[in-house]
């Protein structure tokens, strides 16, 4: 929690109480602490072209130098070079110390910003190999086969989890299922699979959990002793110029780093390896920006106008009211949301390109909450989807609209590879999902129709009883649990409309 923000906001009447946490000590190491050790153990190729090119004068933290030439060779001209490090094999075997290490850290950071964790995955594999062997020195001098403590690896998204899972299962050591549990943890993974990460492995077996930031604060795995942190996460943001939400892979905050490291100190002293340099850490934000600063404000502005109307201040714009927040949102984002609310009829006022009647010009005060706006604010949906549900209900197709909206507002029931009922590659899983959607909505081609048909046929299968509904889901790349959740969600929304 950003307590400084709240202290300033409620000053001078805000008291502060400090309650120390009860955790075991956790040692934290950064890339400069482990890169040389991995190189000494023969993993120079796994360190990637950034470290291999270290010492060749491509640039530094203070002088970018020939950074563009390096990126061109790695990403364009020598991507598939036979040496595996984009043509830098000759220098890659040289000792990784001094200026060579410093430049290698900088160049690897360049690749991290350009290609995400692609060049980090081989380093994770090499790091786990050295830790398991017990032959490392310095920061890598950890317990080997005698340790039963689990390992938690933080990765940005499912694609990265799948890639690393496949690398480890093909590994000559980690591929032994009698000695290692390789467990993915992602919001799309079936509940039964998620629960496996809490199981304590038998003696002689080590658990390796590959997770997104869902394991950062949402849950605690008690037997974790080692955390490997790639320092990235997929986060939603809002482009106020394009007026669209985006999902980007970005660096986490320093507060998130502390949370991730703390996962290793719940039941015993632990260690955390951050796979980026301490210089990169110093460039991170202290805290993640508040959600109001990185998301669309349609619902926020609508409820702000509702509060203002009910407190006798309907003439006050939502933008003025939101300026009182601890971290006020961007003015352009507020204007975009107010414009959308006017377009859908939730607020009064001019809409560009739409003619107004003379009576409306005489009676309407711009920016006032309309009767429709009051109804939209009563539904736990975005204003656009709420209007869709209300109109569909008036037109007699409410059940179909609720089925579609439940999937749009919450989570689509079509499974990803994490929910697949049989092992398959990511490309195969995506192809199977597309084929299932096409079959459901044929002869049309529509995600919305696919959701509607899936809901209708799921209800028909439930009516037949037995395992019919579950078999229908397995045959159509649907998550049985998610279909049940969407059915319950639609029921709750239906009760809200009555």
At 146 the pLDDT is: 46
219, part of any domain: yes
User: Of 262, 288, 314, at which residue does a domain stop?
Assistant: 288
Query: Are 279 and 311 members of one domain?
Result: no
pLDDT tens-digit profile of 402-455? 999 988 877 778 875 544 345 566 677 778 888 999 999 988 889 999 999 999
pLDDT tens-digit profile of 20-36? 767 788 999 999 999 99
Residues in the chain: 498
Helices (H) and strands (E) in the chain, counts: 23, 8
Query: Are 262 and 401 members of one domain?
Result: no
Measured CA to CA, the distance from residue 2 to residue 255 in angstroms comes to 9
Structure-token match 């190491």, residue found = 29
pTM: 0.80
Measured CA to CA, the distance from residue 248 to residue 397 in angstroms comes to 36
Report DSSP state, residue 273.
Answer: E
Query: Are 284 and 300 members of one domain?
Result: no
The residue segments making up the domain with residue 316 are: 296-374
Please, which residues have CB within 8 angstroms of residue 109's CB and are 6 or more apart in sequence? Answer: 50, 276, 277, 279, 280
388, part of any domain: yes
b/e burial code for range 457-484 (CB count within 10 A of at least 16 → b): bbeebbeeeeeebeebbeebbbbbebbe
At 147 the pLDDT is: 55
**Nearest CA-CA partner of 146 in 134, 156, 164, 160:** 134
Q: Check if the beta carbon of residue 433 is closer than 8 Å to that of residue 203.
A: no
At 423 the pLDDT is: 55
At 192 the pLDDT is: 74
Q: Tell me, what CATH number does 166's domain have?
A: 3.40.50.300
Under-70 pLDDT residues of the chain: 1-2, 21, 142-148, 242-243, 350-364, 416-426
Q: What is the Rg, in whole angstroms, of the alpha carbon atoms belonging to the chain?
A: 27
Query: Are 142 and 248 members of one domain?
Result: yes
At 158 the pLDDT is: 84
At 273 the pLDDT is: 96
Query: Are 447 and 481 members of one domain?
Result: yes
105, part of any domain: no
Domain count within the chain:
3
């Amino acid at each position: 929690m950003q307590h400084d923000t709240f202290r300033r906001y409620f000053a001078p009447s805000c008291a502060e109480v400090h309650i120390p946490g009860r955790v075991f000590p956790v040692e934290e190491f950064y890339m400069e602490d482990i890169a040389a050790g991995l190189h000494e153990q023969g993993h120079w190729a796994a360190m990637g072209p950034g470290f291999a090119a270290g010492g060749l004068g491509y640039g530094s933290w203070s002088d970018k130098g020939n950074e563009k030439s390096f990126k061109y060779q790695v990403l364009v001209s020598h991507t598939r070079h036979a040496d595996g490090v984009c043509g830098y094999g000759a220098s890659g075997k040289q000792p990784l110390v001094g200026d060579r290490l410093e430049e290698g850290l900088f160049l690897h950071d360049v690749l991290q910003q350009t290609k995400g964790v692609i060049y980090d995955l081989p380093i994770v594999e090499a790091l786990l190999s050295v830790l398991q062997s017990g032959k490392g020195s310095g920061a890598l001098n950890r317990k080997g086969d005698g340790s039963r403590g689990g390992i938690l690896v933080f990765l940005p998204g499912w694609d990265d989890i799948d890639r690393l899972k496949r690398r480890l299962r093909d590994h000559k050591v980690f591929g032994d299922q009698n000695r290692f549990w390789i467990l993915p943890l992602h919001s799309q993974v079936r509940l039964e699979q998620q629960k496996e990460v809490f199981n304590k492995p038998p003696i002689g077996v080590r658990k390796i959990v590959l997770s997104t930031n869902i394991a950062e604060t949402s849950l605690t795995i008690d037997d974790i002793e080692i955390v490997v942190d790639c320092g990235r996460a997929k986060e939603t943001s809002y482009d106020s110029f394009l007026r669209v939400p985006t999902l980007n892979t970005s660096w986490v905050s320093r507060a998130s780093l502390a949370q991730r490291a703390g996962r290793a100190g719940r039941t015993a002293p632990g260690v955390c390896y951050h796979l980026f340099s301490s210089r990169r850490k110093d460039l991170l934000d202290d805290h993640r920006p508040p959600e109001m600063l990185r998301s669309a404000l349609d619902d926020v502005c609508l409820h702000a106008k509702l509060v203002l109307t009910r407190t006798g201040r309907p003439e006050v714009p939502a933008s003025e009211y939101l300026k009182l927040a601890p971290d006020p949102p961007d003015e352009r984002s507020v204007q975009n949301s107010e414009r959308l609310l006017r377009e859908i009829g939730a607020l009064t006022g001019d809409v560009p390109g739409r003619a107004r009647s003379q009576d409306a010009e005489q009676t309407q005060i711009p920016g006032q909450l309309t009767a429709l706006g009051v109804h939209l604010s009563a539904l736990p949906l975005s204003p656009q989807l709420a209007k869709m549900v209300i109109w569909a209900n008036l037109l007699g197709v409410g059940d179909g609209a609720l089925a579609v909206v439940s999937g749009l507002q919450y989570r689509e029931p079509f499974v990803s590879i994490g929910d697949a009922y049989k092992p398959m590659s990511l490309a195969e899983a995506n192809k199977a999902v597309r084929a299932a959607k096409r079959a459901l909505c044929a002869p049309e081609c529509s995600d919305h129709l696919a959701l509607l048909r899936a809901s209708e046929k799921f209800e028909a299968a439930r009516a037949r009883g037995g395992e019919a509904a579950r078999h229908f889901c397995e045959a159509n790349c649907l998550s049985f649990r998610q279909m049940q959740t969407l059915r319950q969600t639609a029921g709750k929304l239906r009760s809200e409309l009555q």
